[in-house]
Structure 1
Amino acid sequence: MPALTEPLRSRLQYTFNGQYTGTPQWITDLEKGDDEGFFLPGSAVWAVHGAMSTIAAGVRALLVQALHPGALAGVHDHSRFREDPLGRLAGTIRWIYTVTYGSQEAATQASNWVSRLHTKVVGQYDDRHGVTHDYAANDPELLSWVHMAFADSFLAAYQQWGKAPIPGGPDAYVREWAVAGELMGVPNPPRSAAEMQRQLMDFDRRGILERTARTDDVVRFIKHPPLFPVLRAGYPLLFTGAVSTLQPRFRDLLGLRPPHIGPVALPAAGPAQVMLNGIGAVLGPRPVAEKHALARLDRLGWSSI
């Protein structure tokens, strides 16, 4: 059986971390450091980020981000998402896992590195009314939107496909992951699920979110990314599953609907669960990053008792 699944494993691994075989250096480096990190085993962050649901959450987060024209302009003008989408994905995963599982020093350094990259991401965009706006990736409003797009998506996906209750509940996850927002310079990130929803919907109430031709172009790309052929068959199930967890208002803004035949809605969560279970069976149920983080904690004499 391992021989039969190895081609699939290697392509999945390359998709998520840019390496066909072995463990990337940045993951083994999670064993380094002289502090326990911002998050520990048993935390809400470890529970949510260690689940297979993060795969669908990543798709959902990209869709949510695309609703903000400033965030969309930054990706369009400065990112190599078309030329190297898997490289961009691997970079995002690296930051999330370093903050989740690394030492406080490693998490801070990784966040500072991303912030330095963001200093070059500046420009202008025209909104749907033809008004020109300046944007900067390190602008507090954009940082807040991107932070919440990820947090809301990881939480929603786990609530749909997670295997166990979140330690402390959804509010604990939002409160804990606010640390990551602060590391990136987000002013006053939300500390509860309700507060996060209020802040997210406030962007819509203020008329900031919009759907343009550029939005539709990015959504088409997310819907049909240039994956390895062996991965393409199952991806639509993950995409429709991710869409099904979006707030109805966000789905409407994106012009997306859950799968349906006429007025009859088709199941989306179940088929996505089958795909996530299959990926977990190939890659393992928990991230390799956890093992290396636990090795650091063991070296430091950490105990859950």
Structure 2
Amino acid sequence: MSSEQSPPAPPAEHQPSEAFRKFAAEGVVLAGGGTAILLQLAHPQVAAGVANHSNFADAPMRRLWGTLEFVTAEAFGNQTEQQFVRRRVNAQHARVQGLDEHQQRYDANNPHDQWWVAATLCWSAIRAYRRVYGRRSLTANDLDAIVRDFGRMGTGLRMPAASWPQTAAEFDRKFAAQLVALEVGDAARFAKAELFAARHAAWWLRAIMPFATRIAVSLLPPHLAAAYGHPQTRASRFIANLCWIPVVLAGRILPRTVRTLPATLVLNRVRTRAATRR
């Protein structure tokens, strides 16, 4: 792989935009993964589904791995690999049903909930990318293409295509409107504590969790960060900036072959699993 290449493109009929492929291949977008999960947990129905059907204490990376495999397959996989990750995710979602802490029914196949999950991935990835490369690193056309391709991924989760914005400006307006309705309840705080404690994970993963927490919380809107117990003060912003230094340096100094290595490794993992149907 040359220094300017991304992981291999899928066949033309399934190929997302070049802007999205270049964007999704960069390892720094992974820095938005924790933020996306916290935003998802701030949605009461999504929080209930995660809290009642995920085990962050024993497998804190399982949800993130599943998300990485899905996004990578949609961006770079062929039709077989895309169908494999879609079937697996949809099968998992079929079991996620019940009542939240307010006795409201949740269902992972609810189109509104699916929209929110896809939207948090899109918003958090763009925030992380711009945190490393600057706000002008993505043109208006790039942002529109990236938003549209995240919507295409959402339809793979059975989200109605018509519900997804076609421009970044429209997406920002709709996302901002959804932020108002969020609520960081007990289920969200419990799931967040389990995720970042990683009590039963490997020692090295537990060791980096304070760093991962700072990164994740720093991208949140301030009122949500405070609701999770991380008010944004001058000291907390200073610490967050220190945590971002190695991420920014890695994104700006490392050659592209290294920066895109996570996407390449995840794609290879998906291809192996799709070939063996695991």
Which consecutive residues of structure 1, in runs of 5 or more, have no partner in the other structure? 1-29, 294-305
Paired residue type of 1:179 = R
Structure 2 match to 1:10: none
Distance 1:52 1:253, change over 3 A: same
Paired residue type of 1:287 = L
In structure 2, which of residues 122, 131, 137 is the aligned counterpart of residue 160 of structure 1?
A: 131
2 CA distance for matches of 1:60 and 1:196? 18
CA contact (8 A) 1:69 1:125 kept: yes
Structure 2 match to 1:217: 190
2 CA distance for matches of 1:275 and 1:158? 10
**Identity among equivalent pairs (%):** 24
* Largest Rg, 1 or 2: 1
Paired residue type of 2:228 = L
Distance 1:146 1:34, change over 3 A: closer
RMSD, matched Cα? 3.2
Structure 1 match to 2:151: 178
What pairs up with 1:3-152 in 2 under 5 angstroms?
A: 35=12, 37-39=14-16, 43-127=18-102, 132-152=103-123
CA contact (8 A) 2:148 2:167 kept: yes
CA contact (8 A) 1:238 1:272 kept: no
Distance 1:169 1:229, change over 3 A: same
CA contact (8 A) 1:54 1:157 kept: yes
2 CA distance for matches of 1:221 and 1:78? 13
Cα drift, residue 119 of structure 1: 1.3
CA contact (8 A) 2:56 2:195 kept: no
2 CA distance for matches of 1:140 and 1:270? 39
1 CA distance for matches of 2:148 and 2:214? 28
Q: CA-to-partner distance for each residue in 1:271-295, whole Å, 9 max, x for gaps?
A: 32314656996992213644998xx
Structure 1 match to 2:223: 249
Count of matched residue pairs = 254
Paired residue type of 2:137 = P
The SS at the match of 1:284 is helix
Cα drift, residue 155 of structure 1: 0.9
1 CA distance for matches of 2:244 and 2:54? 28
Larger RCO (CA within 8 A; separation ≥ 6): 2
Is residue 266 from structure 1 mapped to residue 243 from structure 2 by the alignment? no
CA contact (8 A) 1:258 1:266 kept: no
2 CA distance for matches of 1:260 and 1:236? 18
CA contact (8 A) 1:123 1:136 kept: yes
2 CA distance for matches of 1:278 and 1:191? 32
Which consecutive residues of structure 2, in runs of 5 or more, have no partner in the other structure? 1-6, 268-278
Distance 1:156 1:162, change over 3 A: same
CA contact (8 A) 2:56 2:194 kept: no
Relative to the length of structure 2, the TM-score reads 0.77
The SS at the match of 2:195 is helix
Paired residue type of 2:41 = A
Q: CA-to-partner distance for each residue in 1:254-285, whole Å, 9 max, x for gaps?
A: 34224643xx8415245323146569969922
2 CA distance for matches of 1:181 and 1:32? 19
Structure 2 match to 1:240: 214
Q: CA-to-partner distance for each residue in 1:226-250, whole Å, 9 max, x for gaps?
A: 4533354444334223322222333
Relative to the length of structure 1, the TM-score reads 0.71
Structure 1 window deviating more from structure 2 (116-125 vs 102-111): it is 102-111
